[in-house]
A = this chain, B = another copy of it.
Amino acid sequence: MGTPPRSAKPRNGKAGKPFLRPFSGEAVAPPPIWLMRQAGRYLPEYREVRAKAGGFLDLCYNPDLAAEVTLQPIRRFGFDAAIIFSDILIVPHALGQEVRFIEGEGPRLDPITGVAGLARLDASKTGDRFGKVYEAIAKTASLLPAEAALIGFCGAPWTVATYMVGGQGSTDQAATRLWAYRDPEGFSQLIALLVTTSIEYLCGQIAAGAECLQIFDTWAGNLPDDEFERWSVEPTKAIVAGIKKKHPMVPIIGFPKGAGASALNYVAETGVNGIGCDTSMPPFMMAEAFADENVVVQGNLDPLLLVAGGEAMEARVEEILELMEDRRFIFNLGHGIVPETPPEHVALLVKLVRGGH
């Protein structure tokens, strides 16, 4: 398909949701915009709902409240896409692993440190918990403005496994990487379970109303190339193939955070339709590296630059927009928005991307 010609129509000149049009081969100008974790703690209206929901998982499993917080940033900023409010740890939780969210500390799981621990997981009982997410998606879809798209998601098997094995987030994922090195056959059973469960889960999200999917591989970056190939690329490829068999037209965005130069192989091998670029990828590389791939590029403003705002932010936004002009591009951050972000900076960002000053 390659780079589309400069003649790309203005965003409202053609039918279809602006967010989805790049996936049909069209460079949309100005580019669609949404932000990872756009429904979240930086918004006072989110904090209000969160306070009355009970625990974090209670909010995820409450279709009305999950739909409400999903829609909040769309109402406030008019983003081109909503992403269902949920968490990548819904999958291990639905599989029967204990998951707790401790305020200010992040998730804690009852770690599965070897093959024997897999017996604690039960793929036949995911329906109840996944069902709540599907309900939230259906509810959101029914309330979403006509021009906005709805994104479903899951964590990539590798990233989800790092929490399941480590019991919490960590900077080096040592427990999981050691299991993978010491017992690759055993570890591959966990990954295989996550692949089949993720396919089921994402297909369910599509059936409920998701129009695009993103696979978050937040901890892909610490894997050496051979391990990245085996535990990040291969399982993602299997998930993409599994989805495409049933839903060939639903675009899938991969986000192998920290993959650096390996992101190019990732695109070629997994078959994703979009590639999320993290903050460490220079915008000129984002513009050049994927030019020959049939892929939509998404990224990559530094979330901390959105906190800082000011001229530095404006200059970087301009740089990204100029480099990605005429490309099949979706504006986003290079990682999730942080709680300290002033909402007025987000409003300014949307204005800048849409050509206002």
**Which residues of chain A have a CB within 8 Å of any CB of chain B?**
171-172, 174, 177-178, 181-182, 184, 221-227, 258, 260-262, 279-285, 302, 304-305, 307-308, 310, 312-313, 316, 334, 338
Contact = CB atoms under 8 A, between A and B. Distances in A.
A49 B338 CA distance: 43
Nearest to A338: B174
28 contacts: A171-B171, A172-B304, A174-B304, A174-B338, A178-B307, A178-B308, A181-B304, A181-B308, A181-B310, A182-B308, A182-B312, A184-B312, A221-B258, A222-B279, A223-B280, A224-B302, A225-B280, A225-B281, A225-B283, A225-B284, A226-B316, A227-B302, A260-B260, A260-B261, A260-B280, A261-B261, A261-B285, A262-B282
B280 A224 contact: yes
B304 A280 contact: no
Main secondary structure of the interface of A (DSSP, over half): helix
A310 B178 CA distance: 12
Contact of A312 (B181, B280, B310): B181
A302 B228 CA distance: 13
Nearest to A220: B280
Given A181-B304, A225-B285, 14 more contacts: A174-B304, A177-B304, A178-B304, A181-B308, A181-B313, A221-B280, A222-B280, A224-B282, A224-B302, A224-B305, A224-B334, A225-B280, A225-B281, A258-B258
A334 B227 CA distance: 14
A283 to B, nearest CB: 8
A41 B284 CA distance: 43
Contacts of A182: 308, 310, 312
Contacts of A227: 302
A298 to B, nearest CB: 16
A265 to B, nearest CB: 9
Interface centre among A182, A224, A227, A282 (most CB of B within 10 A): A224
Contact of A279 (B224, B279, B284, B285): B224
A171 to B, nearest CB: 5
